Amino acid sequence: MWLLPTLVLYLPHLNKTGLHSGKSKLNKNMSDENQNIDTIDLSNPELYINRETSLIEFNRRVLEHARDDKNPILERLRYLCISSGNLDEFFEIRVAGLKQQESLGVSSIGPDKKTPHEVLNVIRKNCIDVINEQYDILNSCLLPELEKEQIRFIPRDQWNDGQKEYLHKFFVDSLEPILSPLGIDPAHPFPRIQNKSLCFILSLNGKDAFGRNSGKAVIQAPISLPDVIKLPADQDDNGEHDYVFMSSIIHCFADELFHGMKVDGMYQFRVTRDSDLILAEDEMDDLVRAMEGQLLSRRYGDVVRLEIDAECPNDILNYLLKTLKLEETDVYLIHGPVNLSRFMSIVEMEARSELLYPPYTPRKSGKLGGNADIFKVLSKQDVMLHHPYDSFSPVIDFIRQAARDPNVLAIKQTLYRTGPNSAVVDALVEAATALKEVIVIIEIRARFDEADNIELANRLQQAGAQVVYGVVGFKTHVKMAMVVRREGKHFKRYVHLGTGNYHARTALTYVDYGLFSSDKELGEDVHHVFLQLTSLGKLSKLNKLIQSPFNMQKVMVEKINREAANAEKGLPAKIIVKLNALIEAQVIQALYRASMAGVEVKLIIRGICRLRPGIKGVSENIEVRSVVGRYLEHSRVLYFHNNNKPEVFCSSADWMERNFYDRVEICFPILSKKIADMLTCHLDAYLRDNTQSWILQPDGNYRRDVVTGEDAFTVQNAFMNPDACNKN
């Protein structure tokens, strides 16, 4: 899910999230500055922001990018679509899970101690606000601005004769042959609607060909045709950017599908289903076959949300609720086109440069670019790439050169998300075809990429690569590649370790780091992790890597505690952490203790954050910010001051329970002082950003940090400048 941090120009009051205000009894209880740390109950539920409300706030920041008129209009439209897609996945996964927990009678979840029922009630209130905000932005901001650029969506009651004739021909030639309107009666029960497919429910008047009067029918819009149709311009090129929704065409000519009957009412609706795949891994013989079976069922999981035209009459709405086995609280009334994600096709069809962000070409690595001998370069020094500012091509070249180098004997790599047409996979196929030893660990349980990953696995196996599907019960989320090369009488390992996926397309929009190294101990560690994933043998003690699910959480807490101990001794102490999510309670408690000891804690958290900063006596030394910009902040970077001997790490893992305990992850040290200094500079730049940063308040809301004029500093713009920080 492409999630960005949120930009709310209005901040909802805390009672919207069902939590106490920032001046709650918690603050009063913690106000005694001399209170002993050991006497404060850090498990107090009021110290924790609810995970789901934090995720909704995260999506509000995405949505406010659509409102922000400093962004180009097509980019604003893109953010609206992203917010809609984010909300879809939120219901498919998070709300679906909460409903299951509620049905099982789970009493409370998470350190905030909210019950599933309480959280679902809060979610509904917040999601109604978000949806209303989406349609307000669409109708009052985006559509008028698009019209100024001659991009118009023509409603069916405004089609002229020529347009209506053209669209009727389209209906007859392209739509009617594939539409399957379903009249509803005892022999034709309500159809099984696919997840997130756009549908219509119709109220019919008159008798059908068999003399029956069922009164209702359902039409599902075809998923094989585009959501938006471009109208032809007239002879003077007027209307060159006029569009209609395919749903409008179906609506206009629906009468022709029911000969002898009249359509009295027709209303768009869409259902969202539980899409989380649950595999009983201890009971299966073949993970791939089981996953393929689950993928088929994803389209028809339990319904968790009904979106429907707000003008739908109550009798039809109640019929749908009864048929779909939903409650009124599962219904979201829509004042506009159902499914805003349909507008994404306009961004792609228009693609006018003046309406988008200025084009940016990732810079070629000075050391690994061109025809550089990558292994020769890496034998002398480590190299760090910073995507999307640095090109992803050296990562592909790393595998490609290994495939063609007669001295390379083996290539090992993990793949989590790569995309259906992957240059990395092409290079691995080339290596396997060249009879290299190619071993690939593919995590086919990467949510919503399962089908692509199965296809890639089949392709690699056909080329002769050995494919392993990770470890039963643990997702393989680590991002690493290793090349084993013969150099003289010895073997040398070259590794690439990343914070993001081996996905060339997302490397253009996701901010991530990738480290190349030939360090001997780092190579040995990566070798041992690969052995563990393929042979399932016990792992020997690692030299430099920190690994989940074994010791990462423990080591992170130890490093936080060390900073606290240094602060208590009067030594300098500081922590800077950049992550996508901060959820795990024990780590949060360690950060609270560090703050209480006087450690300066700066957290750059893109999305969900359960930690509540700014609580007097507990977290007043903690600042949490979420940076929002053109690119999706995805990198994980950790800085511990360590009494003037700084330690800097990058990681594939966020600080979440699943990353610490249920996934295979690595956290790797930055051994080159030059690279460590560069990353420290980057972290400082994030803390200086005063145009795209949102500061988390004690009540769980975010306040935008907005500075204009000469003092304005935008971190992502700075990184587009190659001299922003010294390169490695």
Name which of 289, 270, 269, 266 is nearest 279 in CA terms: 289
pLDDT at residue 614 in the model: 96
pLDDT at residue 635 in the model: 97
Largest CA distance in the chain: 90
Task: For each of the domains in the chain, give its residue range(s) and CATH number, in order of start.
Answer: 14-35+59-145 (1.20.58.310), 151-351 (3.30.1840.10), 374-543 (3.30.870.10), 547-719 (3.30.870.10)
pLDDT at residue 281 in the model: 45
pLDDT digits (tens, 9 = 90+) for 501-529: 999 999 999 999 999 999 999 999 999 99
pLDDT at residue 6 in the model: 31
Neighbours of 280 (CB within 10 A): 7
Contact 168, 372 (CB under 8 A): no
- The packing angle between helices 73-89 and 116-137, to 10°, is 160
Report, as ranges of residue numbers, the positions in the chain whose pLDDT lies below 50: 1-25, 28-29, 31-34, 279-298, 446, 728
pLDDT at residue 535 in the model: 84
DSSP β-bridge partners for residue 495: 482, 517
How would DSSP label each residue in 67-109?
Answer: H-TTS-HHHHHHHHHHHHHHHHHIIIIIIHHHHHHHHTT---B
Q: From the candidates 477, 496, 641, 682, which is the catalytic residue?
A: 477
- Report the distance separating Cα 387 and Cα 367, nearest Å: 15
Query: How much is the pTM?
Result: 0.89
Residue type, 478: V
Q: Mark out the alpha helices in 607-663 (DSSP H runs).
A: 657-661
pLDDT at residue 628 in the model: 85
- Report the distance separating Cα 394 and Cα 46, nearest Å: 47
pLDDT at residue 34 in the model: 44
- Report the distance separating Cα 137 and Cα 206, nearest Å: 40
Q: Would residue 496 show up in a list of annotated catalytic residues for this protein?
A: no
Name which of 211, 193, 80 is nearest 136 in CA terms: 80
pLDDT at residue 8 in the model: 29
Only one residue has tokens 């996979």, namely: 425
pLDDT digits (tens, 9 = 90+) for 233-242: 875 557 789 9
List the Cα angle 54/58/61 in 5-degree steps. 140
pLDDT at residue 282 in the model: 43
pLDDT at residue 417 in the model: 82
Structure tokens at 344: 């994404």
